[in-house]
Amino acid sequence: MNLQPIKQALLDSYDQQGGINHLDGVNLPAQDSVQRLASDYMHLMFPGFFEASALTKKDVPALVDRLLTGVHQQLTAEIEKCLTFALDPSPAARAQTLAADALGRLPALRQIIQTDVTAAYQGDPAARSVEEIILAYPCVLSISVQRFANVLYRLGVPLLPRMLTEYGHERTGTDIHPGATIGTHFFIDHGTGVVIGETARIGNNVKLYQGVTLGAKSFETDASGNPVKGIKRHPDIGNHVTIYAHATILGGDTVIGANSIIGSNVWIMRSVPTNSLAFYKGDHLVIRDRRSPGAGGMLGDESLSWDI
């Protein structure tokens, strides 16, 4: 087969269709390197779980030294690329500072991640051991990587946080934006199809099932009709909330009050009081007080007490 005409047509398209070429530009973060960074980070968070052979306590210092050195080098290099892309005037120096800052938070991240593993074990009667949770539950990867990406996101690193969470998304089917704020003891059961938007805020002891969306209701646009960036678009979820499969909760001003249960397939675009139960009865959305099982009527507006 003569490939020359196809080659020439592709070369012509690079000249004629801009926007999806990156030629003669800065060196962008490498996908393979970012995926390796995420994998090495998981080994640091869970020593002994993902190694090819058993790990003893005496082996740990050497392992951590090797992994931490590699992660530091990879992270610094990729942050520098991101800062260069963003036209930072001192990308190399800032990359060193930001990488050191992010890595310094790893011990604290492990404390929070341990609460997520505990929540998964306590929240799923099918779980037989903590080891099973760490080795086989997709939420461990997606949540753990998001927590590290969130650190980088809040440090102002462009590109890299989203690439890290996309690694978790590709592996688990769970799409959590690095900007989302998530409290302790967070559990996503099954995980497939869950979407959590950038400005969502999730309290402590929250449990989601597959297919849940914490999304935007609409987008504010500027004078040119382009979406306005950086505004609150996604809901707040209070402490001790359970959201069942395929529920959709939308809007930056939507608050799900603490201790509430949101039923499967429920579509919500307004705030729900604390201690509520939301479910469909026929075609009607019913929101009632969980503490009064006999009360079947709709709840009106009342003050909310949402707190992380």
Predicted confidence band of residue 219 (pLDDT cuts 50, 70, 90): confident
Interval 293-299 mean pLDDT: 48
**Is residue 287 a contact partner of residue 298, using CB atoms and an 8 Å limit?**
yes
Q: Is 11 part of a structural domain of the chain?
A: no
Both 125 and 210 in a single domain?
Answer: no
Across the chain, mean pLDDT equals: 93
Predicted confidence band of residue 43 (pLDDT cuts 50, 70, 90): very high
pLDDT of residue 302: 38
Residue 305 has pLDDT above 60, yes or no: no
Both 134 and 54 in a single domain?
Answer: yes
Q: Is 6 part of a structural domain of the chain?
A: no
Domains of the chain: total: 2
Predicted confidence band of residue 294 (pLDDT cuts 50, 70, 90): low
Q: What are the distances in angstroms from CA 25 to CA 77, 183, 221?
A: 17, 39, 30
How does pLDDT run across 71-104, given as a tens digit for each residue?
A: 999 999 999 999 999 999 999 999 999 999 999 9
Residue 8 has pLDDT above 50, yes or no: yes
d(CA 47, CA 68) in angstroms, rounded, equals 12
Predicted confidence band of residue 293 (pLDDT cuts 50, 70, 90): low
**Proportion of the chain above pLDDT 70, given as a percent:** 95
d(CA 28, CA 84) in angstroms, rounded, equals 9
Domain of residue 281 covers 193-221+228-292
Both 248 and 126 in a single domain?
Answer: no
d(CA 202, CA 245) in angstroms, rounded, equals 17
Q: Is 303 part of a structural domain of the chain?
A: no
Q: What is the pTM of this model?
A: 0.91
Tokens of 228: 């306005």
Both 33 and 111 in a single domain?
Answer: yes
d(CA 297, CA 200) in angstroms, rounded, equals 29
Question: Which one is predicted more confidently, 208 or 52?
Answer: 208
Q: What are the distances in angstroms from CA 84 to CA 88, 269, 297?
A: 6, 40, 57
pLDDT of residue 23: 86
Residue 297 has pLDDT above 70, yes or no: no
Both 208 and 272 in a single domain?
Answer: yes
How does pLDDT run across 111-159, given as a tens digit for each residue?
A: 999 999 999 999 999 999 999 999 999 999 999 999 999 999 999 999 9
Give the CATH number for residue 263: 2.160.10.10
Both 39 and 117 in a single domain?
Answer: yes
Q: Which residues pair with 280 in a beta bridge?
A: 285
Both 46 and 141 in a single domain?
Answer: yes
